[in-house]
């Protein structure tokens, strides 16, 4: 099976030192891969390279087996959706924000209907006319997720999307998010420090430290090795 996303011989420098050095990393269709590691491990750097939002100093990125370069980078980016820790909503209605990605990609016909359906799925459809900047943290991230799924991405890339949400709001949102991932069979890469999120969502875990991949395995396999939990800065249940 051809990986949907793959990087080879990636090197990102910071001054004379490297920030990220990955010989090979691949994401298979239908996988939910969690990237964990301490601050500065290179998780977000790897995510932005996978998302074609930044370039490595050396190395190659492949999307569905085809090398990504200047000629096709924009086309590839349009097959992906990215969700950040901050929802990045504009000063406009919830519905306009949820439909924004579709409009930016030139998909105007039916954009609002599609966006409204995803808002309903994430439990915020009743807020469609409200200004997005008045939402709570949990509501805002639900809108951000609805906007991402409305694009029907080949791969969803998430950089600590639940980190700024209070625990009471976070737990049901993760459960709903898992249900959507499962029902849509969406391929995803998730950066997180919370191993409860890993256990709830991931099919594979990749541990980074000092810019390198140190180990990988299923959540159960990683949880069995407490040393990797300490290295990852993640709260791994005992």
Name the more confident of 100 and 107: 100
Burial 161-198 (b: 16+ CB within 10 A, else e): bbbebeeebbeebbeebeebbeeeebbbbbbbbbbbbb
| Residue 147 CB neighbours (<10 A) | 25
Instruction: Give all domains of the chain, ordered by start, each with its CATH number.
Output: 1-79+156-164+186-238 (3.40.50.300)
pTM above 0.85, yes or no: yes
pLDDT (tens digit per residue) in 130-186: 999 999 999 999 999 999 999 999 999 999 999 989 888 899 999 999 999 999 999
């Amino acid at each position: 099976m051809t990986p949907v996303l793959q990087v080879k011989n990636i090197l990102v420098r910071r001054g004379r030192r490297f920030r990220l050095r990955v010989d090979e990393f691949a994401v298979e269709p239908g996988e939910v891969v969690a990237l964990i590691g301490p601050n500065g491990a290179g998780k977000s750097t790897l995510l932005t390279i996978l998302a074609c939002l930044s370039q490595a100093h050396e190395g190659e990125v492949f999307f569905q087996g085809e090398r990504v370069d200047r000629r096709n980078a924009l086309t590839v980016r349009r097959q992906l959706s990215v969700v950040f820790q901050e929802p990045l909503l504009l000063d406009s209605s919830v519905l306009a924000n949820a439909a924004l990605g579709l409009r930016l990609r030139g998909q105007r016909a039916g954009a609002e209907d599609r966006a409204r359906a995803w808002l309903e799925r994430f439990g915020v459809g009743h807020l469609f006319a409200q200004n997005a900047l008045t939402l709570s943290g949990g509501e805002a991230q639900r809108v951000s997720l609805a906007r991402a799924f409305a694009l029907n991405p080949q791969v969803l890339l998430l950089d600590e999307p639940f980190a700024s949400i209070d625990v009471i709001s976070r737990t049901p949102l993760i459960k709903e998010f898992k249900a959507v991932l499962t029902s849509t069979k969406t391929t995803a890469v998730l950066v997180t420090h919370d191993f409860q999120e890993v256990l709830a969502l991931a099919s594979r875990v990749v541990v980074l430290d000092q810019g390198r991949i140190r180990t990988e395995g299923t959540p159960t396999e990683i949880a069995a090795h407490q040393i990797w939990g300490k290295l990852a800065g993640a709260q791994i249940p005992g």
